[in-house]
Protein backbone atom coordinates (compact mmCIF):
# COMPACT_ATOMS: atom_id res chain seq x y z
CA UNK A 1 0.00 0.00 0.00
CA UNK A 2 1.18 3.51 -0.68
CA UNK A 3 1.69 6.15 2.01
CA UNK A 4 -1.34 8.00 0.66
CA UNK A 5 -3.52 4.93 1.17
CA UNK A 6 -2.25 4.57 4.74
CA UNK A 7 -2.73 8.22 5.64
CA UNK A 8 -5.51 8.97 8.08
CA UNK A 9 -7.94 11.83 7.72
CA UNK A 10 -6.61 15.07 9.15
CA UNK A 11 -7.88 15.82 12.66
CA UNK A 12 -10.82 18.14 12.74
CA UNK A 13 -12.31 19.85 15.75
CA UNK A 14 -16.11 20.01 15.72
CA UNK A 15 -17.37 22.94 13.66
CA UNK A 16 -18.95 24.57 16.72
CA UNK A 17 -15.52 24.65 18.40
CA UNK A 18 -13.75 25.94 15.28
CA UNK A 19 -16.39 28.68 14.97
CA UNK A 20 -15.96 29.76 18.59
CA UNK A 21 -12.17 29.82 18.31
CA UNK A 22 -12.36 31.87 15.11
CA UNK A 23 -14.88 34.28 16.65
CA UNK A 24 -12.50 34.83 19.58
CA UNK A 25 -9.47 35.09 17.24
CA UNK A 26 -7.73 32.21 19.03
CA UNK A 27 -5.10 30.66 16.82
CA UNK A 28 -4.49 26.92 17.02
CA UNK A 29 -3.02 24.04 15.08
CA UNK A 30 -4.66 20.64 14.96
CA UNK A 31 -2.32 17.68 15.23
CA UNK A 32 -2.80 13.92 15.25
CA UNK A 33 -2.49 12.28 18.66
CA UNK A 34 0.73 10.30 18.86
CA UNK A 35 2.98 8.87 21.57
CA UNK A 36 5.40 11.40 22.97
CA UNK A 37 3.33 14.46 22.09
CA UNK A 38 4.05 17.07 24.77
CA UNK A 39 0.99 17.49 27.07
CA UNK A 40 1.84 21.21 27.36
CA UNK A 41 1.00 21.52 23.68
CA UNK A 42 -2.34 19.71 23.93
CA UNK A 43 -5.55 21.38 25.04
CA UNK A 44 -8.08 19.89 27.38
CA UNK A 45 -11.67 21.14 27.32
CA UNK A 46 -13.97 21.05 30.33
CA UNK A 47 -17.61 22.09 30.39
CA UNK A 48 -18.66 23.81 33.60
CA UNK A 49 -22.01 25.20 34.69
CA UNK A 50 -23.69 27.54 37.16
CA UNK A 51 -26.92 29.55 37.40
CA UNK A 52 -25.66 31.94 34.69
CA UNK A 53 -25.05 29.14 32.19
CA UNK A 54 -22.42 26.85 30.75
CA UNK A 55 -18.77 27.76 30.27
CA UNK A 56 -16.13 25.86 28.31
CA UNK A 57 -12.65 26.12 29.79
CA UNK A 58 -9.62 25.29 27.64
CA UNK A 59 -6.30 24.64 29.35
CA UNK A 60 -3.07 22.70 28.71
CA UNK A 61 -3.25 18.99 29.51
CA UNK A 62 -0.16 19.23 31.71
CA UNK A 63 -1.98 21.51 34.19
CA UNK A 64 -4.82 21.09 36.64
CA UNK A 65 -7.89 23.31 36.64
CA UNK A 66 -8.20 25.30 39.87
CA UNK A 67 -11.92 25.94 40.35
CA UNK A 68 -11.29 28.26 43.30
CA UNK A 69 -9.00 30.46 41.19
CA UNK A 70 -11.51 30.35 38.35
CA UNK A 71 -14.17 31.58 40.79
CA UNK A 72 -11.88 34.48 41.80
CA UNK A 73 -11.32 35.43 38.16
CA UNK A 74 -14.91 35.10 36.95
CA UNK A 75 -16.97 35.76 40.08
CA UNK A 76 -18.81 32.52 39.34
CA UNK A 77 -19.04 29.26 41.31
CA UNK A 78 -18.75 26.72 38.53
CA UNK A 79 -19.22 22.96 38.79
CA UNK A 80 -19.08 20.11 36.31
CA UNK A 81 -22.00 19.93 33.89
CA UNK A 82 -24.39 17.13 34.87
CA UNK A 83 -24.29 14.04 32.61
CA UNK A 84 -27.87 14.71 31.46
CA UNK A 85 -27.13 18.32 30.52
CA UNK A 86 -23.85 17.30 28.89
CA UNK A 87 -25.69 14.77 26.73
CA UNK A 88 -28.20 17.45 25.64
CA UNK A 89 -25.46 20.01 24.92
CA UNK A 90 -23.40 17.59 22.85
CA UNK A 91 -26.45 16.14 21.09
CA UNK A 92 -27.46 19.62 19.95
CA UNK A 93 -24.27 19.68 17.86
CA UNK A 94 -24.34 15.98 16.91
CA UNK A 95 -21.39 15.24 19.21
CA UNK A 96 -20.93 12.39 21.63
CA UNK A 97 -17.55 13.23 23.12
Residue-level pLDDT, tens digit, the chain, 97 residues: 445 444 555 667 888 888 988 999 988 888 888 889 898 888 888 999 999 999 999 999 999 999 999 999 999 999 999 999 999 988 988 888 7
Give the per-residue pLDDT at 52.
94
Give the per-residue pLDDT at 51.
93
d(CA 65, CA 59): 8
Predicted TM-score (pTM) of this structure: 0.72
Strand order in the sheet with 79-80: 54-60, 43-49, 79-80
H helix or E strand, kind and range, residue 21: helix 15-23
Give the per-residue pLDDT at 9.
56
Give the per-residue pLDDT at 74.
94
Give the per-residue pLDDT at 83.
92
The domain limits of the chain are: 50-97
Amino acid sequence: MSEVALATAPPTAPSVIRTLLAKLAISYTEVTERPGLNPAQKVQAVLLDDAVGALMVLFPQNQLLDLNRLAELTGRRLTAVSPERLERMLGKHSLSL
